[in-house]
Amino acid sequence: MTTTVIYFFSAINLILALMMVFYNWRINKNVIFLAAFFVLLALESSMVSSFNFGGNVTFYTVLFIIAPVYFLKAPMLYFFVRGIVNDRFYMKKSDILHFIPFFLHLLANMPFLLMSYDEQYQITANIMQNFDYYRQLRFSLYPITWNNAGRAIQLFIYIIACLIMMRRVRFRYLRLKGQIKYQYRYTTQRIFVILILVFLIATTSVILNYMFALHLDTTSLIDTMYAILYTMVYAYFFIPVFVILSPKLLYGLPYLETSHVSATQFEEGTDDSSEKTDTRAPKQHLSTEYYNELATRILEYIESEKPYLDPDFQIKDICTHFVIPQHHVHYCLNEILHTDFHELKTEKRITYAKTIMKKIKNPVKPEDAGIASGFSTNKSFNIAFRKYTGITPEQWMKEQTTIKD
């Protein structure tokens, strides 16, 4: 029963991770690392529960075969925290060092991976039935149980590194004021909660591996071990739920230097260098005033230039115009203007469509107003118009005619 519940929650965690990437990767690509961390946690927790509480042997065999990838969960969390602290999505050449434990485990498991599936199935079936068999099992120079201990210690070390990294944000936070200070406090507090939960998981995992190595599961301490195990497993499930309930965490922490432009935000050669020089804001510490001013400039740009008339208008066009990172635009829209890009774009298009349909000279017909206003099709125009006004464009035109008469 316990394993079934864990399988169910693991499946939910996988779905939540995919949803997280789908809805947020454009806002903050670092969510890819966080989602990968959740996926690996879900898979590893399923393997751990199958081993301790019993379960489907075929499923456990598959989870056991891919066990080397569980060494990637700690680096994924580290990359996420690093990306949030630096507020950009990037990888360095030296990051290959974080993958060394994965490659070592992969090489150590190579004899097992080269076996036939029937042989693999028999080994995992014996593991689930006999803990002593698992203690003595080895495919290379060291017992297979060392991999479990290694993952626990690795996660513990990475959590400490993440907590130390978060201190850098604290010094920025002390210099800020207003709403941007609230955003820093909101984000850092929630990352800290996640790190504490993972720290709890890592600590309990280290303790369980130590107790298992001492054969304490054959003594009266077996109940204590299972209590620790339940604490660790349910902590796994609480983390993604906590993040889903804290969506602002995924916006990232805005850089304190406006001259910074993330390499992932722009395509090379999209703007003339002279335009970039003219529109770049001076290097300064950001504050609430900066974001308020930027929000005003964005609205002025949209009103005067009418970029929304282009069917391919995207948020990166605003970023390119002002030469700012995408998260600055998202922050202005969501936190200051209390809207989002799609809603603002649609609202401006509907307003423009109304303007050109009710012109005294040469009014545009409703069937042509949608395309002229930036909508890709008349169908999308009619749906959006009805959503915002409650009536169709034709009905709206009739009302305007009645008012004139």
pLDDT tens digits for range 80-123: 989 888 777 889 999 999 999 999 999 988 999 999 999 999 99
Mean of per-residue pLDDT scores for the chain: 81
- pLDDT tens-digit series, residues 139-153: 877 888 888 889 999
Residue, of 276 and 323, whose pLDDT is higher: 323
Residue, of 248 and 13, whose pLDDT is higher: 13
Reported as half-sphere exposure (CB side, CA atoms, 13 A), residue 61 has a value of 17
Question: Does the pLDDT at position 61 exceed 80?
Answer: yes
- pLDDT tens-digit series, residues 210-267: 888 887 767 777 888 888 877 887 787 788 778 777 766 655 555 444 333 333 333 3
Residues of the chain with CATH 1.20.1070: 2-251
Quote the pTM value: 0.65
Q: Tell me if 128 sits within 8 A of 51, measured CB to CB.
A: yes
The CATH label, of 2.30.30, 3.40.50, 1.20.1070, 1.10.10, for the domain at 2-251 is 1.20.1070
